[in-house]
Amino acid sequence: MSRNSRNRHNAKDTTSRKASKGAAGSASTSMSTFRAGRAIDALTPAFVQWFDDGSAGTATAALECLADIKEVISRYMEGTAAAEVTAFESIPLAVAITDVLVSTDEEADAALIVDAMAAYISFLTETGRWAGSAEQLAQIMDFFETVQADDDLGRIDIPDLAEDEALEVFAGLPLIQRTTALLKWIGAGRPVTGTGALRLIDLHEAAACVGISVRGAVKGAQPDGAVPTVRSMQDVPLLPQIWAALEAAELIEIKATKAVPSKDAVGFLSGTSPERLAEYSYFSTRFLEQTVLGMDPAFPDVSAILSGLEVSILIAASTPEPPPVERVLALADQAPEEEKMMADIIGRMTVGRLERLAELGLLTIDTHFRVPPALIGCIVDAFDDDVIDRLELGEAVDHTTAQEQGPARKAPKATPAKKATPAQKGSPAQKGSPAQKGSAAGTILQLKIQLKNAKPPIWRRVLVPASMPLDELHTVIQTLFGWLDYHLHNFQTGGFRGPSYAPADPDDVLDSFGEPSIDESTVRLGELLAEVGSKMVYTYDFGDDWEHTIVVEKILTVDDGGQLPRCTGGRGAAPAEDSGGTLGWTNIVQAVNDPEHEEHEEYRQWLGLQPGETLDPKAFDVEQANEDLADIF
């Protein structure tokens, strides 16, 4: 770090953080914190002198830097049992920095923390105090160069590969080849059960497409000792993940009695080179989500730890400093004696999960874990800030002493959502049943509401009372997505044939559309979404068909007294009303941002864009969203 760049840590930047630092300091002090504080205090005069370039406020800024430096080094000491503050190993240091970032929500604060440690390393080297090896120093400097690129801590450098080169890589992936075979087998459509799964009689052929030899336990069929028998599609290795990813990537559509290919499947199977590359990449991203973040309802805590470790390793494996395999297998060495057995099991299970990704071409494993360059973009998209914010990787490190946290990503904050069980789907729970616990007084639901089929993703995270009736949730969604409430809408649970909820229809004018809907004002949210992972779909404008998937990410029992409903995150600009659904909106975004597009001026006028103004499809202002909610609720 140069002397000029040091002064990004000025008094103005750091004053706003003093209150939170003071609150943190009121907690009990660990031995590592004490040791780090004493060692850094001894270096403080020299650091302040080195930091000072004559500008006003540099002494104050230097002391603020040292507060961050102490926090990171204390985490480093806790994780490594190191006693030195003048030599570090790169991966444990990256873990310590990531762990500290758990406590900061502001991107600017995160940048200051990284810059503070970079300044401290520069101080050690420039003043001859660095006590580590030249190789350690080079690795650490490479790390800081990576995370400081473009001042974006959440960024991993995505290689700029030629289209034909990237297409060749994707087309050669066993994952894509097996998925292609399954899509071709689906053909014009295949029968499914009421839960959207393939029938037992079809499992033999479907599994063969993905390289698995099984047969369904069809009544009356004679067992074949050479071929394993399964009782459902969920018992087949790999097939459920690919099937779920096909649906998530909108390559198939699950109807009442059959699964049929979507129009995007044509692009996947026989589209132009750009179309196939886009579909391959998008499918691979959705597959990673389904596979890595999938929860085992029987072991949710272990599943969360495994998912957190796997995400951390995949992120780190996408950087120039990939994590070594031996560190994952050595988790037990650093665990307390009573946790060594579990840490060893967790480490081996994690490596086993990663080996299955490697078999599909999504990862390479030798002495280190490495993500192929063409797939780094998929890792970034699959495990974006939304996932990172849900995953509490910092807590996972505390329990498992993992050393492979991704150095270029924020540490997440929550457990992945469990999938809803069949018992959670369908009509509202009866009063007094266990499913009613989500509607307990004072309970708050953290929801992620995502617009289906939107590329790039458009989603909002919001906290709402479980007691909120659906008609009020309708208002929340309208507000967060900028809809104008010009059109009809409904909520639906339990899939295609599940019950629907809509505004009261006293004149029965909507009877021709099927079974009457339940009056949405009479149903409370907690009655339908009673568990983490519970889902429902909100559809607005049955012409444009804007479908919003609503998933419970957390159930909170403590109200912090903040505004409710409250938006806590989001991504993607709200589409314009009557813009033709997600496909139409995508075309409009392309047109307004491309001066050569034949409808460029027409759509700019329609959206009311001023000269020089562009449309950022990823933009979202959470503060404005909360102001809008506050105006209504």
The per-residue pLDDT for 391 is: 57
The per-residue pLDDT for 104 is: 60
Asked if residue 369 belongs to a domain, the reply is yes
Asked if residue 483 belongs to a domain, the reply is yes
pLDDT digits (tens, 9 = 90+) for 167-222: 999 999 999 999 999 999 999 999 988 778 898 889 999 999 999 998 876 655 55
* Closest to 14 in 3D by CA, of 98, 93, 96, 115: 115
The verdict on 195 and 275 lying in the same domain is yes
pLDDT digits (tens, 9 = 90+) for 94-138: 888 877 776 565 444 666 788 889 889 989 998 999 998 888 888
The verdict on 627 and 479 lying in the same domain is yes
pLDDT digits (tens, 9 = 90+) for 302-334: 777 888 888 889 988 988 888 888 888 887 777
The verdict on 459 and 557 lying in the same domain is yes
CB contact burial 33-65 (16+ within 10 A = b; e otherwise): bebbbebbeebeeebbebbeeeeebbebbbbbb
Q: How far is CA 523 from CA 336, 501, 519, 554, in A?
A: 49, 8, 7, 20
pLDDT band at 406 (very low <50, low <70, confident <90, very high): very low
Tokens of 212: 């698995």
Number of domains in the chain: 4
**pLDDT at position 1 over 70:** no
**pLDDT at position 344 over 60:** yes
The verdict on 447 and 516 lying in the same domain is yes
The verdict on 285 and 299 lying in the same domain is no
pLDDT band at 429 (very low <50, low <70, confident <90, very high): very low
pLDDT digits (tens, 9 = 90+) for 601-626: 888 888 888 887 888 888 888 889 99
Please give the residue range of the domain that contains residue 557.
422-573+616-632
The verdict on 75 and 175 lying in the same domain is no
The verdict on 279 and 319 lying in the same domain is no
Q: In angstroms, what is the C-alpha Rg of the chain?
A: 26
The verdict on 194 and 49 lying in the same domain is no
Asked if residue 578 belongs to a domain, the reply is no
Asked if residue 353 belongs to a domain, the reply is yes
- Residue 260 forms beta bridges with which residues? 253
> How far is C-alpha 240 from the geometric centre of its chain's CA atoms?
20
Q: Which of 289, 323, 347 is the last residue of a domain?
A: 289
Dihedrals phi, psi of 199, to nearest 5 degrees:
-70, 155
What's the rounded Cα separation, in Å, for the pair 332 and 328? 9
**pLDDT at position 399 over 70:** no
Tokens of 465: 């009372």
pLDDT band at 10 (very low <50, low <70, confident <90, very high): very low
Least confident piece of the model among 416-430, 524-538, 577-591: 416-430
The per-residue pLDDT for 489 is: 93
What's the rounded Cα separation, in Å, for the pair 162 and 180? 23
The verdict on 261 and 377 lying in the same domain is no
The verdict on 358 and 472 lying in the same domain is no
* Closest to 416 in 3D by CA, of 437, 393, 432: 393
The verdict on 302 and 230 lying in the same domain is no
Least confident piece of the model among 64-68, 235-239, 399-403, 480-484: 399-403
The verdict on 493 and 443 lying in the same domain is yes
Residue where the block lists tokens 């009673």: 530
Asked if residue 599 belongs to a domain, the reply is no
The per-residue pLDDT for 54 is: 65
pLDDT digits (tens, 9 = 90+) for 269-292: 999 998 899 899 999 999 998 899
Asked if residue 475 belongs to a domain, the reply is yes
